[in-house]
Amino acid sequence: MIPTVAPTRADQTERTTAAAANARSAGKAAIAKFSRHRLLTSPGAVTGIVWLAALVIASLTAPLWLPFKTEDQDFTAVLSGPTAAHWLGTDELGRDILSRIFAAAAGTLGTSLLTVIVGVALGTVLAMLSAGAGERTEGAISRGTEIMMSLPGTVIILAVIGAVGTNIPVVMAILGILMSAGIYRVILGQAKSLQSQLYVDAAKVDGSSPLGISVRHVLPGLANTIVVQAALIFAVGMLIQAGLAFIGFGPPIPQPSWGGMIQGASQHVYDAPWMMVPTGAVLALTVLSANAIGNALGKAPNASAPHLPSAAARRQRAKAVAAIASAAPSDRSAKAHEAKGTLSVRNLSVGVDSAGPGKGVPLVTDVSFDVQPGTVLGLVGESGCGKTMTALSLLGLLPSGVSVTGGQILWNGKNLAATTDKDMEAVRGREIALISQEPMRALDPMFTVGYQLNATLRRLRGMGRAEARNEARNLLEKVGIVDAERILKTYPHQISGGMAQRVAIALALSGRPRLLVADEPTTALDVTVQAEILSLLRALVKDTGMSVVMVTHDLGVVADICDQVAVMYAGQVVENGRTEKILDNPRHPYTLALLAADPHANHAHAMPERLASISGQVPQPKDWPSGCRFAARCQFAGSACTDPVPLLPSGTGEGLVRCVKADQLAVEGMDWLATDVPASQVLGIAPKQATIIGKDLA
């Protein structure tokens, strides 16, 4: 009986199906992958594997090395503690505890494994059946397992023992059936999510049979969960089995069992308390090992960061803020001529904290821009350019593990980058507010719209209950909701996305902020709703005189609403200035290329045969070159582009551009070429591109 519980997961499915020609390198890759496996990086799990392996080997070879037979009675040493002869002491009949523990191990582990096999196999098969077949099958199976889960399992097992006697393998197999319901529940969720993956749809389009899909796409995806469940069930099975033996339903009398031994020890807790220790410790260690393996495998590999960091993380950030504050002593002269409601970002840098994974990687470097009261600034660029990080830093709401590493965020002359989280509470909502991309997720699903608005109004504006209720209705009407009374009573899931974004805007307006940070506020909405929301924002800017920092990837949105625009690429501002100047007469090749690649920039009658495209992709933060970050993809790049490029006056008004060839390009009036050469000749590909590390953060 070998504990196939955990470590043999590996990538067998991948290997057996991999093309034979490549078997060796695939095998090598699998080994390399395995050594970085979650299991081997967790000290607890490694200890667990070693312990279980040692236990199995020791118990299987027990007859060869055990100093005593399990039934040998040493009447000279009854109830003895550890001695040279009896390392772990003896019981009331003078039997050697060490010998009995190891003699009992194989049976305990083996029958627990039986529970695991029955439970996991049944649970998995039922879950895959449910996920693959229609709603009706799923309903029936789920009902059945719900019934099974609400049964007092131990009592039923005892009734089973009444019927079949203490036939441990049978009892443990039935225990497996009872436990399969819980396993089914865990696996079903995952099996369903795997079934809804697009690659399963693709396989269906291929004409794969349901069985083929289950075997090729669903089962391999479940492997890890199955092993995790197996390890945890193994532990529970051992505990239950020992418990049964403890109350007298163990293997027949002379045969040792861990539960029976603890039961025996409990009779002597008054005169020989030591007897409790060895068996209890071995049982606990074995359970602990199985749990450690399960937990190491079950740990979500890339859980997203909390939006409210833990107290420990907040303390660390406070230290970082203090460091920035002391590094950049407040500039009194700058403060003096900052008008009310002016945002001035100076050389802002944001990076991954040096402690975490991807340590110290910069995400935003040297970003500067100004926002005057009553104006809208667009931060535009592709994903991974640092626009959202820049926006969140304005409110001090960067995700855990990411912080401002340099520069200043001057709001009314106060440097927000050096302001503690506590002090930021006076700024958030009251002076700077936030709306985000997915309005539905931005609202608390557990509370009504009315509660959320009222609580915010009472907090930010110090209103009374009745006053807040009135103002909540006014706010909703202000953001264009006609039946405000009804909406106040609804929960977020009961309204549409466009309506939710209006509510989110009302929430943001409740503290009468002077600056609204809008992070892709219309990306998740339909275009007709987007147009309405943009009109609403424009009207609000006009009526209230607040300013907006609008993060977007859509140049059309920029053209619609922004007065100023800063184009970002790979964590830098590459061009900024007035919107008309930049969109009608771009100076940076990246802006030029983005416009040429945008199908919206063309009229239907003049739609080109091929769009201009930019080869390759935005580089990962860790791969940023020291010179121009766009050079590798730029049609105009030259030798001068390998040196760092500063922001230079672009020659059109107050705009700036980060390109050494900007003037030359302007004079020559060059266009980004719309190529119709085969894609393979244009597309530069990074063949060695590694797994994307900063992806979750950027």
Q: Which of residues 408-427 bind another protein (CB under 8 A)?
A: 425-426
Q: Give CA–CA dist 520/509, Å, rounded.
A: 17
The answer to whether residues 597 and 613 touch, using CB atoms and an 8 Å cutoff, is: yes
Cβ of residue 191: shortest distance to another protein, in angstroms? Answer: 14
Between 66 and 481, name the residue whose CB sits nearer to another protein.
481
Which amino acid, one-letter code, is at 18?
A
Span 1-30, contacts to another protein by CB under 8 A: 11, 13-14, 17-22, 25-26, 29
Report the nearest approach of another protein to the CB of residue 559 (Å): 4
347 binds another protein (CB under 8 A): no
- Contacting another protein within 187-216 (CB under 8 A): 197-199, 201-210, 212, 216
Rank residues 44 and 94 by Cβ distance to another protein and give the closer one: 44
Which residue in 41, 61, 304, 354 binds another protein (CB under 8 A)? 304
Point out which span in 75-83, 318-326, 335-343, 497-505 binds another protein (CB under 8 A).
497-505
Please give the full DSSP string across 388-429, using - where no structure is assigned. Answer: HHHHHHTTT-PPTTEEEEEEEEEETTEEGGG--HHHHHHHBT
> Phi then psi for 248, rounded to 5 degrees?
100, 10
For residue 152, state whether it binds another protein (rule: CB under 8 A). Answer: yes
| Contact code string over 458-477 relative to another protein, x by CB under 8 A | -xx-----------------
For residue 253, state whether it binds another protein (rule: CB under 8 A). no
Q: Measured from the CB atom, is 91 or 406 closer to another protein?
A: 91
Span interacting with another protein, options 116-124, 301-309, 320-328, 462-470, rule CB under 8 A: 301-309
* Residues of span 673-692 touching another protein by CB under 8 A: 676, 678-680, 682-683, 685, 687, 689-692
Q: What sections of 152-274 are H helices per DSSP?
A: 153-164, 168-195, 198-206, 210-213, 219-246, 258-267
* Type of residue found at 450: G
Which lies closer to another protein via its Cβ, residue 61 or residue 494?
494
SS3 of residue 645 by DSSP: coil
Is residue 558 a contact residue for another protein (CB under 8 A)? yes
| CA distances to 24, 39, 296, 428, 531 from 35, in Å | 17, 9, 14, 46, 52
The torsion angle over the Cα atoms of residues 458, 464, 469 and 473, rounded to 10 degrees, is: -70
Taking CB under 8 A as the rule, which mask of x and - marks residues 227-246 in contact with another protein?
--------x---x--xx--x
Q: Which CA distances in Å does 376 have to 253, 373, 502? A: 83, 9, 19
Smallest gap from Cβ 483 to another protein, in A, equals 8
Choices 67-75, 91-99, 470-478, 504-512; region in contact with another protein by CB under 8 A: 504-512
Distance between CA 392 and CA 410 in Å, rounded? 14
Report residue 15 as tokens: 């290997």
Footprint of another protein on residues 103-142 (CB under 8 A)? Answer: 135
Cβ closest to another protein, residue 115 vs residue 263: 263
The reply on whether position 79 binds another protein by CB under 8 A is: no
Can you tell me the distance from the alpha carbon of 421 to that of 59, in angstroms, rounded to the nearest whole number?
Answer: 58
**Closest by alpha carbon to 58, among 101, 90, 87?**
101
- Out of 108, 263, 405, 564, the residue judged to bind another protein by CB under 8 A: 263
| Residue 614 tokens, joined | 């930019």
Nearest-angstrom CA–CA distance, 399 and 304: 9
Phi, psi of 491 (to 5 degrees): -90, 155
CB 577 within 8 A of CB 647: no
Q: Which two tokens stand for residue 480?
A: 């264009």
x/- site string to another protein, residues 350 to 389, per CB under 8 A? --------------------------------xx------
- Among positions 35, 493, 667, 669, the unique one binding another protein when judged by CB under 8 A: 493
- The residue from 63, 270, 639, 669 that contacts another protein (CB under 8 A) is 270
**Closest to 495 in 3D by CA, of 471, 529, 468:** 529
Report the site for another protein in 565-584 (rule: CB under 8 A).
579-580, 583-584
Kindly state the number of chain residues that form the binding site for another protein, as judged by CB under 8 A: 186
Instruction: Give the nearest distance from C-beta 643 to another protein in angstroms.
Output: 24
